[in-house]
Amino acid sequence: MDLQLTGRTALVTGASRGIGLAVVQALVAEGANVIGSARTVSPELADSGAHAITADLATPDGPGELVHATVAAHGDIDVLVNCAGGGDATDLRAFFDYDDALWHKTFDLNFYSALRTCRAAIPGLIRRHGLIVNISSVGARLPHNGPVPYNTAKAALTAFSKALAEEYGDQGVRVATVAPGPTRTPVWTAPDGIGAALAAAQGISHDDLLAGLAAASGIRSGQLVEPEQVASLVAYLASPLAASMTGQEYLVDGGLIKTI
């Protein structure tokens, strides 16, 4: 299927690995002019065919500087995908042991980075009748299940996306939220990720935890989500074929969330 993305300009944050990198690769494959942003440019991002640019989006000025540099070099943005996130998502301390500094740090990376990037990009997105996709998490619907600051920040991002879609819909801007379930990314697979931390807390091996994670999480497909599965949905949402899809949250979770 031709998604009609040839020549469109897409900015993807958090693009060095995991879901962000998969989104970059999917959009490049569809012919888009892709700018991939990360704090550190990974070899995979450098080889993806995207224009790589470094930026620290957890700082107040980082998102605006990124958008300004992108527009200066490539023109207005047609598609903005906010994938930057994570950070202390591996921190599993007790509820009230999270101090204010960690809450602020988590919100800066997982909420304010997207808000500030949207704010900087919205004038061009209005001109281009563009799309914003914010990558949230099923943790927004399961606030008790995992690091509370991370899940709360993702819940804020999901609510923000809904409000943004309503605010700018009549100006031609679409906004969608994509909420993956546990995904086979370094967050789960790396030795310093949340998977390793959970395995240590449960007294089992990292490999055993990953092998049983889908069943333990209630994922009906029986498999972890793959980054490419999330990326394929993002690419479709970016297409003119999805012109009537806005204001919604799309779960890619293998059936983990059971509620309507």
Enzyme catalytic residues: 150
> Which residues, other chains included, contact 12 with Cβ-Cβ below 8 Å and sequence gap of 6+?
20, 23, 24, 27, 34, 35, 36, 37, 50, 81, 83
Structure tokens at 10: 């897409």
Determine contact, residues 227/18, Cβ cutoff 8 Å: yes
User: Residue for token digits 């999901």?
Assistant: 158
Distance CA 53, CA 74 (A): 12
Residue among 116, 134, 132 at smallest CA distance from 61: 116
Distance CA 91, CA 26 (A): 31
In order of 26, 153, 194, the CA distances from 156 in angstroms are: 27, 5, 21
Angle between the N-to-C axes of helices 148-168 and 113-128, in degrees from 0 to 180, rounded to the nearest 10: 20
